[in-house]
Structure formats: C-alpha cells, structure tokens
A and B are shown apart, each in its own frame.
Chain A
Amino acid sequence: MKKLAQWHFFAFWDRTGIQHHLEEMAAKGWMLERIGLLYHYRRCTPGKYRFCVTYYPDADPSDPAPTEGEQDFQALVSYAGWELAATNAQMQIFCTDREDVVPIETDPVLEVENIHRAMKPRLSANRSNAICGLVWMVYGLLQCLTEPVRFWSIPLFQLISMFFLLEVAESGSSLLAYSRWRRKARKAAEEGEFLATPNLVPLNIAFILVLVAAFALYFAAAFTGQNNQFNEAIWIFLLIPIDTVIVIAAWKGMKRLGVAKQTNKMVLNIGSVFLFVVGVPLIIVLAMGSGLAERPGVRGGTKLDSYRWDGTTYYLYLDELPLKMEDLQPDLAYDGYVSKLDSTESFFAGSFEAEQSPRMDDPDKEQYPTLEYECVTVKWKALWSLLYNDMYQKFHRLSLNPVSGDPVPWDADQAWTSDGGECLLCYGDTIVFLRLPFTPTEAQMQVIGAAFGGN
C-alpha cells in the first residue's frame, strides 16, 4: 500500500494534536501529502520528522491558486528549512527532518493573534450554526409542548430535533473550548509560553456517534411498525448529500478553471440557496403531490381510486380499521364506506387517525354517519402524562359537556364522555379519542372495549 487516506476529527485550531499525529504517522512511514475531506498520506522512509501547523489568515479556500502573499509566506518558511507538506484553507502544514531548524513561530503572542485571525470565518460559521440550531430547537421544544402526540410519534420530528440539538452542542462546545483556550493561551503568551491546544477528538467522535445513532434509530423506526414506507424524509436525506456533492463539485470545478474567488463564492451561495432552500421543499411538494407522503412523517392511507364531486377530487380508501361502523351497528347494510387510516410510530409512541365516512358523491350519504377516532399508544411510560394531557385537552376542546364517565361498561381504565358522542378512553398504554355519531349502548361500549384491548 503506497497511499493512505484517513478521516480526522481534529479541531481546525488544534495545532498540537495535528502536529503530534503527523509526527507519529511519519514515524510509521506515512507522510502527509494533501488535505481534502480526508488526510492523504504517501509512503516515506520512517523517521523522526518535525511538523509545524501554522496559519496564513488571508488564505481563502475559494482562491483558484495561492495568492502572492501566501506564496511569499511559504517561500520564507521554506528558506528557513521547512518543507510545505499540505494546506487546508488558512492552515499551512510544514515539516522537516532537521533538528536545527528554528521553529516557524517564535513569538507566542503573535501566534495566538494569528490563529485568531485565521479562526474568524470559522467562528462566525459556528455562531451562525449555533443560532440556527437554537431556533430549530426552540421550534422543536414548542412543538413538543404544544403537540406532544405528534412530536413523540413522528420519528422525523425527533430526528430533526436531535440533529439541531447536536448542532447547538457541537458548535457551542467548539466555541467554548476555543475561547477558553485562547484566554489561557494569551495569558501564557504574555509569559513567553506556547500553550498546547486541547484534545477535542473524543468529543467530536462522540458527536458523530450520537448523530449516526440518531439516524440509525430514525431509519429503524421509519421502516418498521406503522411507518413501513418510502416517505419524504428519505427524499430529503438523499437530496441533501446529492446537493452537497453538486455544490462542492461546482466549487472545485470553478477553482480549477481559475474563476475569481468572488465569482466562485457568489455562484456557490446562489447555488446553495437554490438547491437547499428551493430544491428540498420542491422535492417534498413533489413527493406529497405524487402521493409518496401526504403529511411529513405520517403514513397515509392507501389510495385505491379517485372520483370528482362538486369540483373537488376525492380519494377512495379501504384501509383496515380496528373499529368500524359495521362492528357497532351489525345490521348496517351499506358497502359504500371509505375507510382511511393515517398512522405513524416511533420508539416512544405510536398514533393513528381513523375515519370511516360515506362517499361524497353518494346521494344517500346523510343516512350513513361518519365514525372518527384517534388512538395513541404510549411506549415510553415517562411520556404518559404529557400525551394523556394532550389527548384530554383535545377531547375537552371538541366535546359538548364533557364529564368523567364510568369506565366499567367500556372495559377501560378511565373514561370521559360527552353529550355529543365524543369519548376519551384509556386501555393500558393506549388512549383513544372517539367521535361517535350517536350515544353508545352498553353493548357498543363493549365492542369498543374489545377493539382497543379492554380489560
């Protein structure tokens, strides 16, 4: 093997960690060749090499070639006995096998200032990421508080919240670690000392692992239980990497063609905005229009056919429902019902909304009442109160004179009823909100109890 490429988790400013690692690699016979997404190494004679990670703050990764200033800097450092190994934006990595070569940085105050100048664009990006993540986190938190059933039963919402939580944690911890190091480094520099940079590799690896675990859990939840279908989230997860590859390829292509950095950046920004701000929502709309996803994260009922009535298109569904009008009214002789079930399920909770209603174009539809209900299964017991309150509030909002009822006839643990036929029932881990078109008899209550796993 003559070449080696490795992914590294060093912070951009972790000059100590990078230097040590490159010295270890060179001692094993691997010399740094270039840095892209990965660190690329070539075979070299194993030996004692000294590496120095320094920064040229005015370097711009969008420049088609190193600027005059950057080349002057590299020439001066080379004259002093150092050989340029690789560059990565402002980062300049030099190496030497000579013992007597003077270090590139001999003034710690200047070095800290220099690193800070090089870090400025990254710090701005980190701050923007932290703010953006914070906004999304607040949005997720609000959703968790105002619509807990929806939040905890849709894996996509949990993934998005976890993603932004990690973004805030990662950006925040990077900013914090850097500002802490800088404060100490400036103090040490006043005493003429160079302060080693802290090792953030374990923390960065931990963030990646948590993110991978979050995605794995999402995909596991999305393809099992009630979500076993190709939904719009998959489109997003396919589209974002494709968009990223297109943007990076365009950026590199323009660099190769010698396009000026301002033009490159402008095209890149416009392209990114178009691909991510316009492209992703466009795909979601297309996915929704094509019936791949009716609502984010929710498995819609199976469309069998469509018909038009009064200028509107309606779809026909014949989904399996746990409770049907025929179960409650066995003598009902009507086969024109449309049965629709929208369901979603995460590792924390599952929910479905069922509706059985006559076709809109049926002239006798008034004779056949509509049955609607929503069922929530709480898998993580700690969520019980939160999800129960959500359902209870919905029941109270939509019911006429709600009162606490006797659970026994329903075979339930708890029962709330109302004058309008609405009722809220609890069966073990399941909460059911029913909107019956009539006041149920005891026999019908038992049928309902049997349908939802009564005692």
Chain B
Amino acid sequence: MNFDFAQSHFALFELPTSFALDRARLDARYKALQTEYHPDRYASHDDATRRLSLQIATRVNEAYQTLKSPLARGRYLLTLAGVDTEEETNTAMPMDFLMAQMEWREAIGDTKASRSVDALEALNRDLAQETDALTQELGALIDDDRDYPAAAMAVRKLRFLEKLHEEIGDAIEAVLF
C-alpha cells in the first residue's frame, strides 16, 4: 500500500481538476479510500503504521470536505493555479455588492429581533438562491473563462454570503435551543 501526500485532492479522488464535480463519484471514492486507509483497519498494527493511517485518513477527510464545498473547491482550484484569493486582505468590493450586503444585514437584524424561525428560514432560502447563482458564476469563471482574478472576486463574495448564512443559522439556533 502506498500513499502520495503530494498529489492534489482531485488526483486522490481520481477526478478531473475542474469546478464541475461528479458528486456521486466523489462520494463513492471517499468511501473506497476510507475503507482502505481508516485507522480502524490498522488498530492492531504497530505505532508507526497506525500514525501513518491516521495521517492518511485525516488527509482523505480534508480533501473530501474541500471538494464537497463549492466555496472551498473554488478556493482550492485557485490555489492550485497559484492565485491568492486574498480573503483576509482584499476588502475592495463593487459598490452594488456592498449595497446588497448592507440590505442583507438589515434584513437579518430585523428578522432576528422578531425571533421568528420561519422568517429566518425564509431569509435563508433567499440567501441560498443568491449563493447558487454566484456558485454557477464561479464555476464558469474557472472552468470556461479561466479568468482567475474574477474568480477570486467571486470567492470573496461567496465568503461574505457564507458568513451571512452562519449568522442566520446562529440566530435560528438561538431561538430554538
């Protein structure tokens, strides 16, 4: 049994290096990989082997999570192409996106105050639609246009939307639990 820690997540999962993803193949390969490398397979082996199996299984989980999430997958593809998404440093955003952000925040603030789970869930559905549209755009920018600077912008925008999604989720939990 061999494992190459240097290979890309796509290579590990025997998938083409693209944003478009065959989810069924990803899931099937994930189970095959864990069946082969999971620490449970090596519970009775020596320390070094168990440690290695732990590292491999950890890598497989990390790769699976990265490829499964559109945002993480886009970010990873850009990293492979040598592009920094500058999510922490680049805060320059188009004016219309910033305006839309402010509207989202206001809506979340108001709905939070109402403590209505239904209203928060409705907001979440609207946000999911916007996220889906932006995800489609990101896919086209990477796979078709190979416009990485524009794709990096899309990743930064998606990160914003993800934070909004987390905020709504926290608000729902605060009401429910």
Q: Do A and B bind each other?
A: no
Q: A-contacting residues of B (Cβ < 8 Å)?
A: none
